[in-house]
Structure 1
């Protein structure tokens, strides 16, 4: 609910603070007094495009504030929570500043927001009916929402939306799999050919390096054998062999140690050196025998290396990269084999489509039933709203492509007179007719609508007398469920309100300004009398105004 509105330096308004209550409130005043300024200010607060030309002459900027009482469980409260903009006090303070340069800034509960966010929140806070930018009655999407609200289709709509999302997801996964399989078909043969080309090679990691080392040894076998033989000769053969010399030195020093024990450690060291030489000799003899056994290995090594070089050239990689290529190719082929079955995915798509069709048909059936009821109940109200023998219907037409909101397009159609054919609201209805039609719809949807504040502008266009009284009574009834604000020129409508605001303009310090006054009982009599009698208000007119207010007040209490 809108609790307070503050405006500064906007059109004719210098400074204005207005507190608003529950129920039905009317705004009245002379033509040109500035009643539309309040609605224009609200439109700006709720995200309307800002026009710097509307800033009051001489002021650098215009400022707007609106305070709303918001329940955490309401759609507006949930939106604020989702956007991390909620307030612990349960209120929503919207502030907007429009600079002379054309720049605009907006804030919700102190946090900077965009105009898009203002509009999104505004959809949950206020519904404006009239020839204003926030008018939504002409939008097919809003007409669909009104029909579903009237019919109580929220749960079924949710089922349809979920089924649509599941169907879309299944189609997307199937398309991705189909594309992946198409790519795989071209890759599979190439991968299989690569594996077949490498299948006869020993491709464990490090094997190429082992081949290189072994080939180097075998290629230098003669030098290695000769060198080893010469080393063995020097260590073990001949009179001056190292092992023999170490043994002789060890024995001689051991004899001397019998006379001087300090030589004993050196005897031990010589013994250790001799033993190590003998171990070297043993390993060299084993090495020489191995070289003799591997005389046929070199051709095998070179043949294997030649095979590696040949495969590497064909695959345009280095020989040492072949093991990694083999592993990657095998892994890629395994991944292709693991791709989901296209047939299984297509079955899932079909199941999702069937589920969507089931719930969409249920929603279509409910909409057809609700469309008939809504057409009948609104048509019954049109005569009371100066729409002659008007007729209202809700037309449903099948969409070329179903969507998350169902299979049909919803269109409100109106025949303002019995002689006229039904047509879309945008083509048939005038501004005043649209406002009154919106009033009739909102009256019927009052129990189900989640928007707390409704504003009506020009609902009295082209009507008077008993019709005007009926409009006022409908607005008052709507005020039992919503906060209702109405700009009116009709005393019959004004008399039905719980609260009365008078907008007037005057010259202050040489400048024209608009102001708003909250009328008490006496003020209401005077204003309704002015609306009844025009420029000259007589005692008779005041008495008439008093009787009108008393009669409507008693009616409201019943």
Structure 2
């Protein structure tokens, strides 16, 4: 609970310290005394929006500090330690600085933290309710949220189950739409891949075949020229016509050096080297002769090679610069085609998931509705009882939980669910529309708050609802800003008489009827009422 709040340089407040304790605390004063600044400070501690204009004139910054007793709030202790702060003697200090110029700063347990971290620690601890909440209560979404809070763990569990299934269904349907919308594009891509793979397969190229055929085509196309050159080269190396050739010249040189070997060893070495040259020339001459003999003109083979090269060239123009690149692309295309061909299988799988989730969601929606209807009966009875204490003894509040039926859709989506034997409009919050109905007098027709409630009646219903919600709310600190606004006459006088000197009586003590604030302020719950 909030044990102490210190305010400095905020609005009309120069410096003030407010000590709080369990139960109800009432702050009263004339207009302009600073009551609103107290509420503003209580809003800043949980990470509320900072307004530099609220800084006191002449001050550089405003500061709000709150001392929280967290000995019986283990979740808060963990949140403080996660933020880097410290808890001492079961207490933690929260602080908020609002600069007249610049950004605001926050501290949790002595550690400087982002404002979002401060909100994570303190926001679940404080609930501020002002006159604007009356208008908020007119919204059906706010009324549904109020019912869900009152429903406690039963409604929370059913709502969490429904919300999780609904979120999964939305994701599956989004993926399914994406796959179906891309199916035509994927089909076109698959057709293109099949055409290319068929074309490549019909040619059946081999790795490196284009280079080998290019060399063979050059050889066949110039066979006569190559043969003539080879024969002339062979004649120059070893002549059949008795002409001077390289082999004969080399042999003569070798013979001359062999003749003087005995006079100089170096001459003998040169003769040996010429012998090696002679052997090499003899081998080369034989190879050139063999090469020339193999070079036959083959027009049929040349035509076949040229035709094959043309087929390979048509592939390299479309699918790669070389046949090796064409083969690599064919391999990757085959893998891609397998993926594209699995589209129908993927669609069937997603449709199966969709159907399964819809069945589970239909059941979850029914359970959530049942839990809300059960809670609605209790909330209506509780609020009606509280209105008796607010001088509306003949008023009745009922909580209407209904569904919006729709026609059977051709293609059901997450926005339509088949619950029982009806098709209902669905949202992430369920299939229910929740509305508070007020019958202000006996025999009067129960009407929605925004249609049938006056300002005073709306104020009393809001107060009664907050009292009812306090029974199940985990928030330990409630702040009511002008809680009696719109509650006039005997009801207001009765509330003042029952609260007396602003110290709440124990409900039912001395046979007196319980004070409205006393319902909020048990031994572990703090409350502040600002009038």
State the alpha-carbon separation in 2 of the partners of residues 172 and 304 from structure 1: 50
Q: How does 1:2-17 map to 2 (within 5 A)?
A: 2-17=2-17
| Alignment deviations for residues 216-255 of structure 1 (CA, whole Å, 9 cap, x no partner) | 3333333322222222222222453323443454455456
State the alpha-carbon separation in 2 of the partners of residues 290 and 3 from structure 1: 110
State the alpha-carbon separation in 1 of the partners of residues 444 and 456 from structure 2: 17
3-state SS of paired residue (1:18) = strand
State the alpha-carbon separation in 2 of the partners of residues 311 and 72 from structure 1: 78
**1:21/1:72 Cα in 2 relative to 1: closer, same or farther (>3 Å)?**
closer
Conserved? CA contact 2:134–2:459, under 8 Å: no
**1:205/1:112 Cα in 2 relative to 1: closer, same or farther (>3 Å)?**
farther
Is the counterpart of residue 297 in structure 1 residue 301 in structure 2?
yes
Tell me the equivalent position of 2:191. Answer: 189
**1:407/1:478 Cα in 2 relative to 1: closer, same or farther (>3 Å)?**
same
| Alignment deviations for residues 529-552 of structure 1 (CA, whole Å, 9 cap, x no partner) | xxxxxxxxxxxxxxxxxxxxxxxx
State the alpha-carbon separation in 1 of the partners of residues 73 and 274 from structure 2: 98
Conserved? CA contact 2:5–2:65, under 8 Å: yes
Conserved? CA contact 1:235–1:243, under 8 Å: yes
3-state SS of paired residue (1:406) = coil
Which has the higher mean CA deviation after the structures are superposed, 324-333 or 29-38?
324-333
State the alpha-carbon separation in 2 of the partners of residues 425 and 354 from structure 1: 36
State the alpha-carbon separation in 1 of the partners of residues 331 and 193 from structure 2: 11
Instruction: Give the C-alpha shift of residue 336 in structure 1.
Output: 1.4
Conserved? CA contact 1:388–1:418, under 8 Å: no
Tell me the equivalent position of 1:395. Answer: 400
**1:52/1:20 Cα in 2 relative to 1: closer, same or farther (>3 Å)?**
same
Which has the higher mean CA deviation after the structures are superposed, 387-396 or 105-114?
105-114
Instruction: Give the C-alpha shift of residue 433 in structure 1.
Output: 5.4
State the alpha-carbon separation in 2 of the partners of residues 291 and 254 from structure 1: 39
Q: How does 1:130-209 map to 2 (within 5 A)?
A: 130-132=130-132, 137-151=137-151, 152=153, 153-209=155-211
**1:150/1:483 Cα in 2 relative to 1: closer, same or farther (>3 Å)?**
same
TM-score norm. by structure 1 comes to: 0.73
**1:134/1:389 Cα in 2 relative to 1: closer, same or farther (>3 Å)?**
closer
State the alpha-carbon separation in 2 of the partners of residues 32 and 292 from structure 1: 117
Question: Which of these residues, 240, 250, 253, is aligned with residue 246 of structure 1?
Answer: 250
Instruction: Give the C-alpha shift of residue 395 in structure 1.
Output: 1.7
Conserved? CA contact 2:377–2:398, under 8 Å: yes
3-state SS of paired residue (2:296) = helix
Q: How does 1:25-64 map to 2 (within 5 A)?
A: 25-30=25-30, 32-46=32-46, 48=48, 50-51=50-51, 53-64=53-64
Q: How does 1:53-452 map to 2 (within 5 A)?
A: 53-68=53-68, 85=83, 87-89=85-87, 91=92, 93-99=94-100, 104-109=103-108, 111=112, 113=114, 123-132=123-132, 137-151=137-151, 152=153, 153-237=155-239, 238=242, 240-250=244-254, 253-254=257-258, 256-257=260-261, 260-292=264-296, 296-309=300-313, 322-323=326-327, 326-341=330-345, 342-398=347-403, 401-418=425-442, 420-426=444-450, 437-446=461-470, 448-452=472-476
Conserved? CA contact 2:479–2:528, under 8 Å: yes
State the alpha-carbon separation in 1 of the partners of residues 13 and 216 from structure 2: 98
Which has the higher mean CA deviation after the structures are superposed, 146-155 or 414-423?
414-423
Instruction: Give the C-alpha shift of residue 157 in structure 1.
Output: 2.0
State the alpha-carbon separation in 2 of the partners of residues 93 and 52 from structure 1: 19
State the alpha-carbon separation in 1 of the partners of residues 441 and 120 from structure 2: 36
3-state SS of paired residue (1:199) = helix
Conserved? CA contact 1:382–1:388, under 8 Å: yes
Instruction: Give the C-alpha shift of residue 18 in structure 1.
Output: 3.1
**1:411/1:86 Cα in 2 relative to 1: closer, same or farther (>3 Å)?**
farther
Instruction: Give the C-alpha shift of residue 13 in structure 1.
Output: 0.8
| Alignment deviations for residues 477-517 of structure 1 (CA, whole Å, 9 cap, x no partner) | 4322653333366xxxxxxxxxxxxxxxxxxxxxxxxxxxx
**1:134/1:381 Cα in 2 relative to 1: closer, same or farther (>3 Å)?**
closer
Tell me the equivalent position of 1:483. Answer: 525
Tell me the equivalent position of 1:459. Answer: 483
**1:266/1:319 Cα in 2 relative to 1: closer, same or farther (>3 Å)?**
closer
Which has the higher mean CA deviation after the structures are superposed, 465-474 or 337-346?
465-474
State the alpha-carbon separation in 1 of the partners of residues 287 and 438 from structure 2: 110
3-state SS of paired residue (1:411) = strand
Instruction: Give the C-alpha shift of residue 454 in structure 1.
Output: 1.0
**1:31/1:189 Cα in 2 relative to 1: closer, same or farther (>3 Å)?**
closer
- Gaps spanning 5+ residues in structure 2: where? 405-423, 505-514
**1:264/1:354 Cα in 2 relative to 1: closer, same or farther (>3 Å)?**
farther
RMSD: 3.8
- Gaps spanning 5+ residues in structure 1: where? 490-558
